[in-house]
Each structure stands twice: as C-alpha cells, then as structure tokens.
Amino acid sequence: MIPVFRQAAVSRLEPVAENTFVLSYIDKECGAELEPGQFCMISPEPGLSDIFLPRPFSYYRLTEPDTVEIFFRIVGKATHWMATLNPGDRIRVFGPLGRGFTTRPDTTRAILVGGGIGLPPLVFLAGKLAELHKNLEIDLLYGETTGARVIDLSGVLPERVRCRMATEDGLIGHKGLVTELFSEIFDGLDSSPAVYTCGPKAMMAALAGMLNPAKVGLFEASLEENMACGIGICQGCAIPLKGEKVRYECCCTQGPVFNGFEIQWQ
Amino acid sequence: MNLETTFLGLRFQNPVLVASGTFGYGEENYEIMPFRLLGGLVTKTITVEPRAGNPPPRIVETDAGMLNSIGLANVGLEAFLRDKLPWIMEHAGESRIIVNFAGFSVEEYVRLGEILGRTPGIDALEVNLGCPNVHAGYVHFGADPGTVREVIAGVREKTDRPLIAKLTPNVTDIASLAEAAVRAGADALSLINTLPGMKIDVERRKPVLGMGFGGLSGPALRPVGVACVYKVYRHLRQAGKAVPLIGIGGITCGRDALEYIMAGADLVQVGTANFVHPQAALKVIEELAFFCRERKIEKISELVGAAHGE
C-alpha cells in the first residue's frame, strides 16, 4: 500500500525491560495491512522537540486491527523523547515503508534469529508464519547481552512457536551467544530451513558465515542504517552488496529485508 | 493574489521548487507528493558515469539540520536520458524541469552541458559547482573564480538553454564568484549548496560519517543562505550584472521562503525539509499564498529584493 504521513495518538507506553519500551498508537487506516519487516518513520509534532529527522522503527505487533505497536530502546535524543510520551499525545507516523519478510517460505521449518533490539520484526513474523502455515515448525532464538534487557515474550508469541533464549551474562537461558543456539538446532537438521534474522550486524554476519546457500531454503536479514526520508530519495541508507564492483541498495526501499546471501557483511 | 513567476522567460506556476538530491527523479514519491504541483523539479545531480556513492553511514542528524555525504550517487547520463527523463516529462504538467549536473573535469561539465542542452523537454540546466576537480587537487570547481569561469563559459558555448550556476558558500567572497559565473554566461544563480561539517562519535572516537566530512543542510544553514542571496543580489546590481537568483538552504515554511525572496531570490528551492515531511514544499506554497492574501499582495514578485529597501 502507498505510505501515508499522518498524525497518530499514542495509546500506551509500557516499559518492558531495561531502557526498553513498547509504544502503541492508533492507526485506523493501515493497521491490518502491515507486513512483518516493514517499518514506519516516527517524529514529533513540529515545535515540541528539537528532533529534526524522523526515525525508523519496524513494526512489532498489531494488537487490535487499529493498534500498532513498536518496540524501542533508549539510545539517543529521539528515543529519549519517545520514552516521555503519554497516552493521548500526538506523534507523526509515516508508513508502511519498505519490503517485509517472505511469509510463504517453501520449507517445513523456519528458524528466526533475533538479537537485542532486532527482536520486534521477528515476533511479528513468528505470529504471521504461525497464522499462515499449519504445519510449519517455527523456532525463535533470541539473544541479549544481559538478562536485564530480555523482554518477557509469554503471551506474545503463539504457543507453537518454540522460543529459546541466550544471554551473554547467563542470567536467562543459554549462557553465550544466540548463534550457538542456532548451531545446536541447525547442525542436526536434515531438511533445509528458512532462516530469518534481525539484530546486531556482527551477529547477522556470524550467522551468514554459518550458512551454505545450498542447504538453506531462504535466508533473509532485516538491516538498519541511518536514514532520512524512508522512501529512496535521499540515498542515505546505503547497504553494501556483494559483487565485483562496489554496489549499494537503499535500506528503506530495497530493504530493510534483504537476501542475506547478497549482503557484503564485512 | 498570484504566485506565478516569470524566470528567464519561463512561466513558473509558483516560485517553489525542490532542490537537487532531495527529491530524486520525481518518481520515488510521486504518489505521495506529485511534483506537478510545484514550480519545478530539480533533478538529482547527473554525472557522465553512474555512481554508486560513498560508504555508509552517509547521513547523520545535527542540531537543526543534518550532514550528508552521499557521494553524488546517481544513474549516470545515459540511464537518466533513457529511463528517468521521459517519465519526468510525462508527469510534469505545468511544473518546470531543471536538470542538475556535475563533472569531475571541465571537459565532463562541457560534455554534459552540450548533451543535456540539446535534449528536448529540459527547461533549464543547473550546474553543480560543488564537485571536486580531479585534475587540480580535488579543489571544488566552485571555490575559484577561474574554474567557475572555465566551466560556465565552456557549457555556455555549447547551449542556449537557460543556464543556472549553483554556487557553494565555502568561499571567501561569494559575490566575486557570482560575478565570475555571470560574466562567463550564467543566466541565473542558485544560492547556496551545503557547508562542510563533521560529527564525531565520542564513544567510538571517530567521525560518524563513512567519509568523515559531510555537507550541512537544513534550518541551521538558513541564515547563511539568506546572507549569501542578499549579498549577491546587491553586488550584481552594483556591478550592473543583475541576474535572477534562486534561494536555497533550510527552507521549511512560507516565512523561510519569504526571507529568501525579500533578500533577492525570484524562486526558492525546498531541500532537506522534504525528508522531514514529504509534502513540505506544498506547505511552503500554501503559506506563501496565505501571506500574500492576508497582506493584499497581488503578485509575489513584488516582494523580490524587498529587504534591500530600495
């Protein structure tokens, strides 16, 4: 659908982990049409903040047909502002933007690997995959640096999605990296799964290094880059792709979800 | 009340254009913001060869603006003429089409000017002088009156198309560069391009942008741009070399545009504001119309240069 720039009302701001929040807003027009992996640009009403450019956030969940949730962690000026929002406050939202994940993989198993603040689009995707495919086995592997930052996904994921966690400090789940959990599952498989990922670049690069295109049905990665317009005009959010010549695609319009085998990870 | 403006003998339905590099080739956001409603579209800078652009990060926000180091990423002349220009012409309506271009040598500028200058459908050419000269220590062409003269005179010789020189503010005296461009044959001037800037990530102890430096744009740049237009307008009149001017830099609303118009600009270009709100230029047009209606100003052109009190 054509993206729309509009005012929206905040319906809820909920702290869910250390410096991490879920922000809900009402979007009557496009809520039901959002695809996992797509994103919106959020900005304040003019004059209410000194934030200049809108900031991109992938969609986390649709809780009602008209309530959209996004998930953010305080890292800078804009997320500080967002953490001060109250129900009823107006924000500006531009979306839906970008290309989402393939929700009809030609496989019997899907493994979703999320790290840190890369979790939201994978939760949205897990729900969509469970809704669309009765027989698809779905694993969500979720890694964090510390247990204090892990959000409670009970009640958020469909029951048949198997969720395993890894934290580097070992407070919750496997002590270590989420890619280690991935190896445990992946190495024992005799079929080719669909692999989806979103998270820190180092994590996704490590994952890409573990995958052989011949043994994976699909490998999709959702990427992030500094962005101004969200619609392919400013050419700011360049993602380097593999090839003989230097080559970039815009994260906002050709992504944010890319074929993970085409990304120049180093 | 009338926003129509005549510029270089061309009728513009309103004086608000979108600046090069902030509106792509017009097609990317046509469904959200059809450029046919604008005075004109200035295309992304076209170079002879296609360019992939600079390594990321290419942009970062700064106070009241942003830095960019896109690296003139564009499809190149051939693909522009084949894939982009026909679409732009088909969708332009009464909006004017201005093609911005840059070379890495005088010869490239002249070649681009010659080819674009004989291509039907282009209303005017805008020469981006903010490009590094690979044959002269990578100094910008726009930084020296001699190279400005060489580029503009070279292009002028090849085409009769209305020729606009877009000047960079990174010079000691912009008025003398403006005069050099006009004496070499520029029909009009666009003022200004971005200012060089840098943001450092103090945690990582290095510049944020992949190339280190970037061009500063947005509201932070506006007073600089307004001052340049004011200064050049005055200087060219005193030198008996007055040409129409286009004001660029940090315009986000009607009052910002009016500052440029009153400083001496016939037209304005909205740039970075297009990233903040895809319909920013429409808001500028509406607010200009409102301002004129409220004050019973019949033609917006009456306000050009009004701040000089003549």
**Burial (CB count <10 Å: 0-12, 13-18, 19+), residue A108:** middle
Domains of chain A as residue ranges with CATH: 4-97 (2.40.30.10), 109-222 (3.40.50.80), 224-266 (2.10.240)
Q: Indicate yes or no: CB of A53 within 8 angstroms of CB of B275.
A: yes
Judged by CB atoms closer than 8 Å, whether chains meet at A226 and B218 is answered as no
Cβ(B268)–Cβ(B247) under 8 Å? yes
Q: B53, A234: Cβ pair inside 8 Å?
A: no
Q: Examine the pLDDT at B214 and tell me if it is beyond 90.
A: yes
- Chain B interface includes A52 (CB < 8 A): yes
Share of chain B above pLDDT 70, in %: 98
Query: Do A234 and B64 make contact, defined as CB atoms within 8 angstroms?
Result: no
Using the beta-carbon criterion (under 8 Å), do B57 and A226 form an inter-chain contact? Answer: yes
Q: For residue B64, what is the nearest residue in chain A, using CA coordinates?
A: A52
Quote the CA–CA distance of B145 and B184 in Å, as a whole number: 10
> How many residues are present in chain A?
266
Q: What are phi and psi of B175, to 5 degrees?
A: -65, -40
Put simply, the answer to whether A2 touches B28 (Cβ < 8 Å) is no
SS3 track for chain A? CCCEEEEEEEEEEEEEECCEEEEEEECCCCHHHCCCCCEEEEEECCCCCCCCCCEEEEEEEEEECCEEEEEEECCCHHHHHHCCCCCCCEEEEEEEECECCCCCCCCCEEEEEEEHHHHHHHHHHHHHHHHHCCCCEEEEEEEECCHHHCCCCCCCCCCCEEEEEEECCCCCCEECCHHHHHHHHHHCCCCCCEEEEECCHHHHHHHHHHCCHHHCCEEEEECCCCCCCCCCCCCCCEEEECCCCCCEEECCCCCEEEEHHHECCC
Handedness of CA B270, B63, A230, B203 (dihedral sign): positive
Is the pLDDT reported for residue B24 higher than 90? yes
Cβ separation B68–A236 shorter than 8 A: yes
Cα gap A178→A212, rounded to integer Å: 18
Q: Is any Cβ of chain B less than 8 angstroms from the Cβ of A98?
A: no
Closest residue, chain A, to B55 (C-alpha): A238
Contacts of A246 in chain B (CB under 8 A): 52
Per-residue model confidence as pLDDT tens digits over A139-176:
999 999 999 999 999 889 999 999 999 999 999 999 99
B273 vs chain A: nearest CA distance in angstroms?
Answer: 9
Catalytic residues of B: 131
Position A96 pLDDT exceeds 90: yes
Nearest CA in chain A to B220: A52
A265 at interface of B, judged by CB pairs closer than 8 A? no
Chain B residues whose beta carbon lies within 8 Å of the beta carbon of residue A94: 278
Q: Is A147 on the interface with B (CB under 8 A)?
A: no
CA atoms within 13 A on the CB side of A78: 19
Closest CA to B36 of B14, B6, B8, B54: B14
Q: Does the structure show a pLDDT above 80 at B310? A: no
Quote the mean pLDDT of chain B: 95
Of A2, A228, A246, the CB nearest to B66: A228
Q: Average the pLDDT over A91-99 and give the result.
A: 96
pLDDT at B139 over 80: no
Does residue B137 surpass a pLDDT of 80? no
Domains defined for chain B, CATH in brackets: 5-55+71-207+220-308 (3.20.20.70)
A50 in contact with chain B, both atoms CB, cutoff 8 A: yes
- Nearest CA to CA, how far is B138 from chain A (Å)? 22
Q: Does A107 touch chain B (CB under 8 A)?
A: no
Q: For A234, which of B56, B59, B62 is closest by C-beta distance?
A: B59
Instruction: Report residue A211 as tokens.
Output: 């995958």
Chain A residue whose CA is closest to B69: A236
Give pLDDT tens digits for A224-238. 999 999 999 999 999
Tell me the nearest-neighbour CA distance from B69 into chain A, angstroms: 8
Average pLDDT over residues A56-83: 93
Confidence of residue A46 (pLDDT cuts 50, 70, 90): confident
Tell whether A80 lies on the interface with B, counting CB pairs under 8 A.
no
Partner residue facing A52 (CB), from B31, B61, B68: B61
Which of the residues B63, B69, B276 would you substitute to probe the A interface, choosing the one with the greatest number of A C-beta atoms within 10 Å? B276
Task: Give the residue on B whose Cα is nearest the Cα of A240.
Answer: B55
Query: pLDDT for A121-145, tens place per residue?
Result: 999 999 999 999 999 999 999 999 9
Tell if the CB–CB gap between B61 and A53 is shorter than 8 Å.
yes
A253 close to B (CB below 8 A): yes
Average pLDDT over residues A66-90: 95
Distances (CA, A) of A182 to A119, A157, A210, A231, B231: 15, 19, 9, 34, 64
Instruction: State the pLDDT at residue A31.
Output: 63
Report pTM: 0.95
Mean pLDDT of chain A: 94
Inter-chain contact A233–B24, Cβ cutoff 8 Å?
A: yes
Give the confidence band of B92 by pLDDT, cuts at 50, 70, 90: very high
- A185 to chain B, any CB pair closer than 8 A? The answer is no
HEC sequence for chain B: CECCEEECCEEECCCEEECCCCCCCCCCCCCCCCHHHCCEEECCCECCCCECCCCCCCEEEECCEEEECCCCCECCHHHHHHHHHHHHHHHCCCCEEEEEECCCCHHHHHHHHHHHHCCCCCCEEEEECCCECCCCCCCEHHHCHHHHHHHHHHHHHHCCCCEEEEECCCCCCHHHHHHHHHHCCCCEEEECCCEEECCEECCCCEECCCCCCEEEECHHHHHHHHHHHHHHHHHHHHCCCCCCEEEECCCCCHHHHHHHHHHCCCEEEECCHHHHCCCHHHHHHHHHHHHHHHCCCCEHHHHCCHHHCC
Shortest distance, CA A151 to any CA of chain B (angstroms): 26
Q: What is the pLDDT of residues B50-89, one digit of tens each?
A: 999 999 999 999 999 999 999 999 999 999 999 999 999 9
How many pairs of residues across A and B have Cβ atoms under 8 Å apart?
98
Residues of B in contact with A264 (CB under 8 A): none
Q: List the single residue in A with minimal CA-CA distance to B29.
A: A231
A235 touching chain B per CB within 8 A: yes
Q: Work out the angle at residue B26's Cα, subtended by the Cα atoms of residues B102 and A7, and round it to the nearest 5 degrees.
A: 125
CA–CA gap between residue B22 and residue A141 (Å, rounded): 40
State the pLDDT at residue A255.
95
End-to-end Cα separation, chain B, in angstroms: 23
Shortest distance, CA B176 to any CA of chain A (angstroms): 31
**Distance of residue B209 Cα from the nearest chain A Cα, in angstroms:** 10
* Residue B34 C-alpha, separation from nearest chain A C-alpha, in angstroms: 13
Residues forming a β-bridge with B215: B68, B196
